[in-house]
Chain A
Amino acid sequence: MVPHWTNGTMNLDASIGLQRGTLRIDAQLSAGAGETVALVGPNGAGKTSCLHAIAGLVRLERGHVRLGMRLFDDGSVTNFVRPEDRHVGVVFQDHRLFPAMSVVDNVAYGPRSRGAGKRSARATAHDWLERVGITKRNEKPAALSGGETARVALARALAYEPDMLLLDEPLAAVDASARVALESALRSHLANFEGPRILVAHDIGDALALADRLIVLESGCVIQSGTAEELARRPLSNYVADLAGVNRFVGHCRDSIVTIGNTELTVVSSVIGDVVVTLHPRAVSLFPERPAGSPRNVFELRVLHVESLHDRNRVQLTGSLPMVAEVTTASVEALRLCEGRTIFAAIKATELVVSPH
């Protein structure tokens, strides 16, 4: 079978209109052939529902889902294409391997649907299991670890040779030790897949590691879309700022001074009017005493929380200008950072990115 994407027009174009309980979803999503788009957003934003609507597991109420020249759904009964006729592969968050079938039969299931004989479907399955590095092939899925289950789920979706790939938090159910290896495996398999790829991610790390572009969904609506750099440079909501790991302040700018409530920030900008100021947490320096000398933006703040990530620590600060700082573990120890401690945060004016609001 000749894949449809060879004509180069296999792009996803979706406008998803759905009511899920109290959540109204109205989201425009697109993904080009060979592009990985991460759908990120807080819990309950409607990410999984969007994915299910693209796969055909949920019917649209409004809008449309189109892949290349094919219309999958436009909210009408007559134009609805059933999931089994869409050729859209899905890796579910809970993986959903068939418990009664062996691992190899799980992976052979898609090729069998495509009309392959038992023998050839199994050969395809073994090939894919080889590629994802699974040796326990005749056992039932219950015998697999979380990481192995995710690999089998990926192999099963890819063995079906879908025109598009949807992944719903593929790393969520995997423990930290298996994550790094799985992430790199996922990256190489995504790169080899030629159709559009949509990845739902709750964790920004997954999205940044795997995606070319991010779409941020909040309360059923697309808040922002762009590359990670674009999002970090100008986050359009506090959620995006948190997501991108940057601090975001809204204030009024005049004569290179941004007034935020009762606080003033010295910036390098000629903008006059309402602005959004973003600041990368790495650009915040922490001192036990008020630093002498150059930095003009110094704030006396209190440590609210120290969160240690695997290579750095995020320090949440509260006070006149609440912000997040990122420091090394050595600094946490040197500064004796702990909840309730008073600290001085210094920011260089050149590190503050100002954009009109």
Chain B
Amino acid sequence: MTGHTHPPPRASIVAVIAACALIGLPLLGLALRAPWSTILDQISRPEVFRALWLSIECSVAATALSFVIGLPLAVWMASETSRWTNVVRAFVLLPMVLPPVVGGLALLLAFGRNGVFGQYLDAWFGITLPFSTAGVIVAETWVALPFFVLTTESGLRATDTRAADAAATLGAKPWRILTTITLPMIAPSLQAASILAWARALGEFGATITFAGNLESTTRTMPLAVYTALESSPEAAITLSFVLIAIAMAVLFVLRKRWFPTGRTAR
């Protein structure tokens, strides 16, 4: 790979510095104010551990839910066999562009105990979503699903259909083509889609606090814990933030091949 043969305009260096400063300086501030001497004690506090565990539980469940709903949806959207494809796509993408707090409010009005649909969930099945861990999972899925669907759909669209054609001439029905040919081909996209959806679910704040509230060990996930700790003990908030930054770094590391194409990486 030869890369760009034309040098960028010199002035672009200003934008590079500005962007690095905008993102880097706050992180530097966080690092300088971190209570390094007590950080291990802070992390090992039970409420921190509970928040972390709850976050992982809920975000993994939201990712699994996104996978189960999102994969068939992406397959359907990529096939473009219906004229409703674009309508459905617009619908699915809405949570990505909507402020999460609005989403949380909408969820509350729909599935709250007195909500339009929630009252029946409560009356008929005894299911109460708001202010429960299940509510956190619903809120996180609501915001994470579009990331999963978009990434998977673009992966599906980029795949070569020639192998699928060959499979069809060997008598494979659509379901078999999907499971034996297409899914193995888009495995990297599925991995990226899952990680993106998971990272988005992990960081979810607005929809969660509006729909599921901020109840310790039930709905108080890491971002909510950071927000709560900020009022009582800023050191704890900083410590919790560091845990989240470490997770973000790990995400970048896992997805490095996708986002850092270099000359050495075969693409």
Contacts and interface: CB of A to CB of B under 8 A. Distances in A.
B81 interface: no
Given A100-B184, A100-B185, A113-B176, A84 B168 contact: yes
Contact of A98 (B168, B176, B181): B181
Interface residues of A, number: 26
B181 A113 contact: no
Interface residues of B, number: 16
Contacts of B176: 113
Contacts of B165: 57, 83, 96
A279 to B, nearest CB: 43
B170 A113 contact: yes
A96 B165 CA distance: 9
A349 to B, nearest CB: 52
Contact of B168 (A82, A94, A157): A82
Contact of B169 (A55, A99, A101, A114): A55
Nearest to B181: A98
Nearest to B184: A100
Contacts of B171: 84-85, 87, 110, 113-114, 160
Contact of A109 (B162, B167, B184): B167
Interface in B103-137: none
Contact of A96 (B166, B180, B185): B166
A94 B162 contact: yes
A96 B163 contact: yes
A88 interface: yes
B172 interface: yes
A71 B185 CA distance: 34
B264 interface: no
A100 B164 CA distance: 13
Interface in A37-78: 55-57
A83 B163 contact: no
Interface string B165-205: 11111111100100011001100000000000000000000
A109 B163 contact: no
A89 B169 contact: yes
Interface in B7-63: none
Contacts of B163: 96, 98-99
Contacts of A57: 165, 168-169
A92 interface: yes
A156 interface: yes
A275 to B, nearest CB: 46
17 contacts: A55-B169, A57-B168, A84-B170, A84-B171, A89-B170, A92-B162, A92-B166, A96-B163, A96-B166, A100-B184, A101-B180, A109-B172, A110-B170, A113-B173, A157-B169, A160-B170, A160-B171
Interface of A: 55-57, 82-90, 92, 94, 96, 98-101, 109-110, 113-114, 156-157, 160
Given A98-B163, A114-B171, 20 more contacts: A55-B169, A56-B169, A57-B168, A57-B169, A83-B165, A83-B168, A84-B171, A84-B172, A87-B171, A90-B166, A92-B162, A96-B165, A98-B166, A98-B180, A99-B163, A109-B167, A110-B171, A113-B172, A113-B176, A156-B170
Q: Which 5 A-B pairs have the closest CB atoms?
A: A113-B171, A96-B166, A83-B168, A110-B170, A90-B169
